[in-house]
Structures are given as structure tokens and as C-alpha cells.
Structure 1
Amino acid sequence: MKIIDVKEQAVPIKSDISNAFIDFSKMTASVVAVVTDVVRDGKRVVGYGFNSNGRYAPSGLLHERFIPRLLEAASDEVVDETGENLDPYKIWDILMTGEKPGGHGERSVAVGTIDMAVWDAVAKIEEKPLYQLLADRYRGGKADDSVFVYAAGGYYKPGKGYDALQDEMKQYMETGYSVVKMKIGGASLEEDLRRIEAVLEVVPNGQSLAVDANGRFDLDTALRYAQALEPYQLFWYEEAGDPLDFELQNELGKHYAPPMATGENLFSMQDARNLIRYGGMRPEKDYLQFDCALSYGLVEYRRILQMLEEHGWSPRNCIPHGGHQMSLNIAAGLGLGGNESYPGVFEPFGGFADNQPVENGRVSLPDVPGIGFEAKSNLYQLLKTVAQ
């Protein structure tokens, strides 16, 4: 077998929402199609991938470095020992040929996007859902029947008052979510507390609400928020400071007893390891949000999971950022603690299969070969255009 072609297209997200740092009005994403010569059910197998929201399309890196390296590789350099399927680990090594250690930046997004497409193709060639393929290879065949998901919303938006915020959160709860998340840090502490209290009026209790500062705070502000937030006993307090400020995170943990979460903007095993070594994160209560689509893909994510195990962390403490089907498959197949979800936001990339509703805060996965993009109609319509 061989890879015939790799195609990429940058597509706009176009959203008028914002968090504490950025708005998404000009945000883009890369969509990649890895075209193989394998045929299943009369159709050529194509693997699809895309990068998560929050990082722009890495089109230049893909076309200048990573796609050419993959297409220039000999067929025997990209296949597994059977010669009948792709080997994601060999492909990862090919993509990273000539890349120096460190400086992960946007290249981790480019590699993660291709990696997603490769795993989609691998599972399709084996005619298995990716979650089952992962469970068979790495977890004794046992995949979780469903995955905990929370609704990430509560963004800042022009003209969005307390009533609109409450209506948004009520809608999430009514559609099956048990935990919702809202943004903080884009307003004053006093205003954010009023917004939080408005949401707490329409959800069961503090354990039904998480808050996310998107790395906005310096240490003093992070601690002031911590003092104000602690009485609410929230589900978690997320990314208070810069993602690489491990000293800030460590100090925050000394003053804030309820759960914290961070990690979505750490894009390598080495950075994740530094968070565990120096960030004061607590394996008995805190959550890690590494997103494979932004951090060199599933190949690197498995290295992160191995590192976490060596440091006494359970995969159940991992609830990835991104709200996409790739992380949902990883969660079910490798036994993570859950996955983010973006109901109605960042479409068509956010959300899951069309016929898999959220029930009691959990969602099941379709029995579809690959990642399951074909079961999400609006996303699949977009993906198909890239392979043409």
C-alpha cells in the first residue's frame, strides 16, 4: 500500500465570540486529507484531520515542510510490519526529520493535523472505529461505552447580558450536559463574579460549573480570583496564568483547594512533563487538558500518557481541550476522564456524531470505521471537498 496524495485547505471559523485574550472573527483551521491506494467498500480510503480551535491554520508549515517529507518517503518507510497498513509512528518520525528539539510552536499543530488524518486512515483500513482500535492495541480490547463531556461556552459577546448567559447554560443542561464552563478574565473581577452567580442560579451547584481564564492573569490577579472563587466549590478553575508559568501555577495550588485545570496550550511531552514536575498540579484532584490535535498528535499524546503514569497520574485526570471527535475516540479507547464539547460553537469542527445525544453528561460513539467524521454530516461535507 502507499499514500497517493496529501492535501490541505485552510478554512475560516468566523465567530464573533471572544475569551479573555482573543476573538475568533479571523480564526482559521487547516483541514488535511491523506489519500491512500487502499479500497474499502468500493471506495478509496482517505484519512481526514484538522487542527483544534485557538490556533491558526499552519498552511505554510504543512506545504513547505511536512507534506513534502511525507510524500517523498518511500512506500516501505510509511507502512507497518504487515505491509498492509500505515504506521503512525514511522510517519511521525518522517515528519519530524530535520526538526531540532524544542521550539514546538506552531509546528506541533501541523504535525498533529497530519497525525489525526493518518490515524483516521489506519482505523478505516482495519475497518474499526478508532476508539476500538486503540483499545485493542493498548488497553486489552476494553473501550469505554461512553465518555463524560462538558459544555464549553459562556464566551464574551457584544450585547450578551446575564439573561442571555443564563439561557445559554440552561440550554446546555436541558440537552443533557451535567457540567458547563464559562469564560472569566475578560471583565473585572466584580463583573465576572456577577456573571458566575448568574450561572449558579440556573445550574444545580458549583460542581456543575467550571471557569476558564485562558491564561490571562498575573499571580496577584490569579490569587485574588482564587480567593473569590473558592467558596463556590467549582468543578475547576482553569488556566489562570500563562501556560508556561509553572511557578505561578505552583503558587496558586498552595492557595486554592478545589480542583484546577490546565495544559491545553502545552504542545509536547517535554512541556507537559515540566508542568508535572514544577507546576504543583495535584494528581488526586486536578485535571490535564493536553490536546493531541495541537501537540504533535496521538503519537505524542501516548508519550504524554506514559510520562503521566510514571509520575503517578491516572489517564482519568485527562480531559482534553478541543471538543473534537479525535479526542473523544482517545478518551473512549484509552480510558481518559472525559472530553470537552462545544455545543453549536466552532461548527462544523466542534461536536460529535449526529445521532449520539448527550445523556446524563455522557456521550456514546458511533460504530463507524475511523474517527467517525462520516457520522457528522456537516463536517463530512466540508472534509470531502479537501480530498477532491
Structure 2
Amino acid sequence: MKIVDIIEQAVPIKSSIRNAYIDFSKMNASVVAIVTDVIKNGRPVIGYGFNSNGRYAPSGLLRERFIPRLMQAKPDEILNPEGTNFDPHRIWDVLMTGEKPGGHGERSVAVGVLDMAIWDLVAKIEEKPLYQLLADRYRSGKIDKNVFVYAAGGYYSPEKDIQKLQEEMKHYLNLGYSVVKMKIGGASLDEDLRRIEAVLELVPSGQSLAVDANGRFDLETAIQYAEKLEPYNLFWFEEAGDPLDYKLQAELSNHYKPAMATGENLFSMQDARNLIRYGGMRPDRDILQFDCALSYGLVEYLRILEMLEEHGWSPRQCIPHGGHQMSLNIAAGLGLGGNESYPGVFQPFGGFADDYPVENGYVGLPDIPGIGFEAKSNLISLLRSVAE
């Protein structure tokens, strides 16, 4: 059992939208295909992976460091003790050989891409959906058959006025979502409040709307927004300040009682632990958004969950960023609180299986081996084109 080839390709995201910090018109993502000599149904087993939106394709890191390390590894360094499957934890150690602690940067994204493909492989070789494999290994076989998902949208774009923002949110509600999210911080406070109130006219209550500042605010501005937002009783107020400014996050919790959310731009267990230690996060209400595809993969995410348990946090307070099927499998198999969703944007990476609509805010997963990419037609077409 061995890996015979690893192919990487940078693919454009093609989204003409922006949040409070960046636009996505020139952003891309790395797609990898790990080809093995394992044969199932007459074809080699291939594992696929990619990085979430929000970070550029780490092609150089993958091609210069991480792919060569994996290709040069000996079988006993990457297989389980029985030699019957690949071992994601051993492979993670191989990938990180020679890497110094700290300075996580973009290398966490590169490792996350390969880690996703490895877990896809492992589940396909065991002929199980990844969520079932995770449940069997870490949760006594218990799975969540349906996972809470919310619709992330409300981006800024030149042609989107308040009426079009409302139409966008109506569309998400009609698709079956019970919670929608919109961007703030890319306009003035007064304009953002008008946008928020326009969406609140459509949804049942503030608990059906989350807002996301994408780390834009300094402390003074974050508090100004908090004071205006609190009466709305929103689902959450997300990433008010820089993701590494734990003091800002902690101080903001003194000024904002409803739920806050952050973590999508923290890419290691150590950074996640510092958020829990110093960020003033409240385990009874706040939400953690760590994204395995950006933060060294599921192997590291398992370490984060272990750390959270030690600090009294439930995995139900984790709702990962990214809107992809990898996080959906983790949520179903490990009992997280839900997953992000991107209806209509960041295609073909965003979204879930074709024949599994969102109903009352929840979505199911297909019963096929691996992560389930094969059940999403536009995505699997892209992934196979890279492999071939």
C-alpha cells in the first residue's frame, strides 16, 4: 500500500464580492489529489483536498516542502501498525518534520489541504463515510444524521443596495435556512445599522441573524458597534477585532452580553488555547469557528477539541468556518454545533451533496465512502480534472 502520485493545482474561486477587509476577485485555492495503488471497484483510490476560502493557494509550500516529504516517506512512517490503511496522525508527523514551533502562517493551510485528502483516502479504503469513521473512532459510533447549517452571505458588492440585500436573504430563507449571516464593517456604522434593520424586517427575530466584521474594528469601534447591536439580540457578533488581539476580545465581552463568535483565523491548537485562556470567551454562549482546512487539518482539530474539553467547553459550541463537506463530516461525526454554508458563492467548493436540501436549518449527508465529494457534481468534476 503506497502513494504513487500527489498532484496540486491552484484554482480560482471567481467571486466578485468583498467583506470588511478583502475582495475575493483574485483569490484562489489549492486542490490536491493523492493517488494510491489501492484498487476499489477496478479503479485506484484517490483522496481529494482543498483549502477554504479566505487564504490563497499555498502552491509553493505544497510543492517545495510538504508533498516531497510525503512522497519520500517510508511505508511504516505513513501506514497504521497493521499496514491496512494510511495513518493521518503519522502522516501529519511526516509533514511537520523539520518545522519549528510557532509562526504558523500559511503552512497550516498547506498541511490542512493534504490532511483533508488523507482522511478522504482513509475513509474510502475503509469503505465508510468519513462522518461514520470519525464517530466509530471517537464517539462510540454515534452520529448526527442532520447538521445545523447557516447561510453566510450579505457581502458588499457595488451593485448590491439594501433591496438586493433583502432579496438575497429571502432567497436563503426560501432555501430552508433558519439563520443567515451578513457582513459589517465595510461601511459606516449608520449604513451597517440600516442594512441590519432591513434584514431584521425579513427574519423571525434577531436570533435568525448573525453579523461578521472580519476583524476590522479597533476596540473603540468594536464597543460602538456592540452598544448598537446588543438590543437586536443577534445570533452572534463575529470577529470584531484582529483574531490575535485577545485583549480586545476579552474587553468586548464586558460590553456585549449576547453571543460572540471568532476563531476562523486561528490556525493551531496553541492559538486556539490562547483564545480560551485570554480572550474572555464564554462557554455558555460564545461560538468557536476554527476551520480544519486552514489549521493543519483534522489531526490538529482533534487536539483543539481535546484542549477545549480540558477547559470546560462542549464541542457543540464549535461551528466551523468554511462551508465545505469536510467540516460537515466532522460536525456529524464528532457532535459539533453545526457548520457554515455558502449558498451560491465560492463555488464549486462551497455547499453540500446535490440531493440533500437544507430543511428547517439542517442538512443531511450522503452514505458514500469518503468525505462525499462524489455526491457534489460540480465539485467532483473539478477534482477529477486535477487528478487526470
Deviation digits for residues 113-153 of structure 1 (CA, Å, limit 9, x no counterpart): 00000000000000000000000000000111110000000
Secondary structure in structure 2 of the residue aligned to 1:254 = coil
Q: How does 1:61-100 map to 2 (within 5 A)?
A: 61-100=61-100
Q: Paired residue for 1:138? A: 138
Secondary structure in structure 2 of the residue aligned to 1:35 = strand
- Distance apart, 1:318 and its partner CA: 0.1
Q: Paired residue for 2:117? A: 117
Whole-angstrom distance in 2 between the partners of 1:116 and 1:64: 19
Could you tell me which runs of 5 or more consecutive residues in structure 1 were left unpaired when the two chains were aligned.
Answer: none
- Distance apart, 1:268 and its partner CA: 0.0
Q: How does 1:249-264 map to 2 (within 5 A)?
A: 249-264=249-264
Whole-angstrom distance in 1 between the partners of 2:136 and 2:159: 49
Q: Paired residue for 1:160? A: 160
Secondary structure in structure 2 of the residue aligned to 1:89 = helix
Secondary structure in structure 2 of the residue aligned to 1:249 = helix
Alignment of 1:174 onto 2:210: no
- Distance apart, 1:41 and its partner CA: 1.3
- Distance apart, 1:81 and its partner CA: 1.3
Q: How does 1:1-388 map to 2 (within 5 A)?
A: 1-388=1-388
- Distance apart, 1:84 and its partner CA: 1.3
Structure 2 residue identity aligned to 1:169:
M
Whole-angstrom distance in 2 between the partners of 1:297 and 1:15: 25
Secondary structure in structure 1 of the residue aligned to 2:229 = helix
Whole-angstrom distance in 2 between the partners of 1:385 and 1:96: 29
Please tell me the root mean square deviation across aligned C-alpha atoms, in Å: 0.4
- Distance apart, 1:40 and its partner CA: 1.0
Decide whether the 8 Å contact of 1:3 with 1:75 is kept in 2: no
Secondary structure in structure 2 of the residue aligned to 1:165 = helix
Whole-angstrom distance in 2 between the partners of 1:368 and 1:203: 35
Deviation digits for residues 73-130 of structure 1 (CA, Å, limit 9, x no counterpart): 0122110012010000000000000000000000000000000000000000000000
- Distance apart, 1:330 and its partner CA: 0.1
Structure 2 residue identity aligned to 1:259:
A
- Distance apart, 1:14 and its partner CA: 1.6
Whole-angstrom distance in 1 between the partners of 2:43 and 2:365: 23
Decide whether the 8 Å contact of 1:78 with 1:87 is kept in 2: yes
Whole-angstrom distance in 1 between the partners of 2:386 and 2:276: 39
Secondary structure in structure 2 of the residue aligned to 1:103 = coil
Deviation digits for residues 348-373 of structure 1 (CA, Å, limit 9, x no counterpart): 00000000000010000000100000
Moved more, 92-101 or 35-44: 35-44
Decide whether the 8 Å contact of 1:322 with 1:340 is kept in 2: yes
Deviation digits for residues 278-304 of structure 1 (CA, Å, limit 9, x no counterpart): 000000000000000000000000000
Instruction: Name the TM-score, length of structure 1 as normaliser.
Output: 1.00
Decide whether the 8 Å contact of 1:92 with 1:299 is kept in 2: yes
Q: Percent identity?
A: 79
Decide whether the 8 Å contact of 1:121 with 1:370 is kept in 2: yes
Deviation digits for residues 165-212 of structure 1 (CA, Å, limit 9, x no counterpart): 000001101110000000000000000000000000111110000000
Deviation digits for residues 34-80 of structure 1 (CA, Å, limit 9, x no counterpart): 11111111111000000000000000000000000000001221100
Structure 2 residue identity aligned to 1:215:
G
Whole-angstrom distance in 1 between the partners of 2:77 and 2:196: 53
Whole-angstrom distance in 1 between the partners of 2:11 and 2:112: 17
Could you tell me which runs of 5 or more consecutive residues in structure 2 were left unpaired when the two chains were aligned.
Answer: none
Whole-angstrom distance in 2 between the partners of 1:145 and 1:59: 35
Instruction: Name the TM-score, length of structure 2 as normaliser.
Output: 1.00
Number of residue equivalences: 388
Decide whether the 8 Å contact of 1:70 with 1:94 is kept in 2: yes
Structure 2 residue identity aligned to 1:122:
V
Whole-angstrom distance in 2 between the partners of 1:228 and 1:164: 23
Decide whether the 8 Å contact of 1:200 with 1:206 is kept in 2: yes
After TM superposition, where is structure 1 displaced by more than 4 Å over at least 4 residues in a row?
none
Decide whether the 8 Å contact of 1:37 with 1:45 is kept in 2: yes
Secondary structure in structure 2 of the residue aligned to 1:380 = helix
Whole-angstrom distance in 2 between the partners of 1:159 and 1:92: 44
Whole-angstrom distance in 2 between the partners of 1:102 and 1:386: 32
